[in-house]
Amino acid sequence: MRRRLPLRLVAAALLLVVTGSLAAQPPKPPAARTTPTKRETGAPRLVWPTSGAVTAKFGTTVKGLPNNGLDLAAFAGMTVHAAAPGKVVFAGTEPERFGQLILIEHTGGWVTAYAYLGQVRVKEGQTVKSRQIIARIGKSGEAKRPGLHFELRKGTAPRNPALYLPIRL
């Protein structure tokens, strides 16, 4: 049985992974959303987690919320692969938006997130290799059709995965 994790706890989990503490941070003044436009030094070398086409790019707005990752089209049952080696820090259900969700921590404070999954094939604490099968495509959470929502974060700050993935021909 998979655990259910509220969205606010997903953010807390990302904070804990990066800082090692859930201590409240002092509020920061609102600022324009800034995201690097080129690959950062020390980032993991990523591979595409599945072969589907990009259906929603990073930064696009859906229902008034920014897309902090990429949405990829796929057929139900297709495999989802770890985009880089790391440790599974969450594998379960986030019922508010993402459905079946996997968070993998990579070296240097980087985290990848895989959402809208059908079948999770890894457990928390498990070490995974790049390209290892971690799940199967499904339609969970807010997904309207089978597919994958894929995010890359440096700490809790979203990064455009397209800048870190190899170019597809």
Q: Is the pLDDT of residue 16 over 80?
A: no
Q: What is the pLDDT of residues 124-153, one digit of tens each?
A: 999 999 999 999 999 998 888 999 999 999
- Residues 9, 12, 14, 18, Cα dihedral to 10°: -160
How many whole angstroms separate alpha carbon 102 and alpha carbon 92? 7
Single-letter residue type at 72: L
Other C-beta atoms lying within 10 Å of the C-beta of residue 41: 5
Does 92 reside within a domain? yes
Does 57 reside within a domain? yes
**What pLDDT, on a 0 to 100 scale, did the predictor assign at position 158?**
96
**What pLDDT, on a 0 to 100 scale, did the predictor assign at position 36?**
58
How many whole angstroms separate alpha carbon 169 and alpha carbon 51? 12
Does 1 reside within a domain? no
Beta strand 79-81 pairing with 69-73:
unpaired
Single-letter residue type at 26: P
- Averaged pLDDT, 114-129: 97
Does 25 reside within a domain? no
Q: What is the pLDDT of residues 37-84, one digit of tens each?
A: 677 778 899 999 999 999 999 998 777 888 999 999 999 999 999 999
Q: What's the farthest any 2 CA atoms get from each other in the chain?
A: 45
| Structural domain of 47 | 7-18+43-163
CB 90 within 8 A of CB 124: yes
Does 53 reside within a domain? yes
Residues sharing a CB contact under 8 Å with residue 7, sequence separation 6 or more, in sequence order: 94, 96, 97, 98
Q: What is the pLDDT of residues 94-106, one digit of tens each?
A: 877 899 999 999 9
**What pLDDT, on a 0 to 100 scale, did the predictor assign at position 131?**
98
- Our count of domains for the chain comes to 1
Does 97 reside within a domain? yes
Q: Element (H or E) spanning 8, and its range?
A: helix 7-19
Does 30 reside within a domain? no
Q: What is the pTM of this model?
A: 0.78
**What pLDDT, on a 0 to 100 scale, did the predictor assign at position 97?**
86
**What CATH code is carried by the domain that includes residue 119?**
2.70.70.10
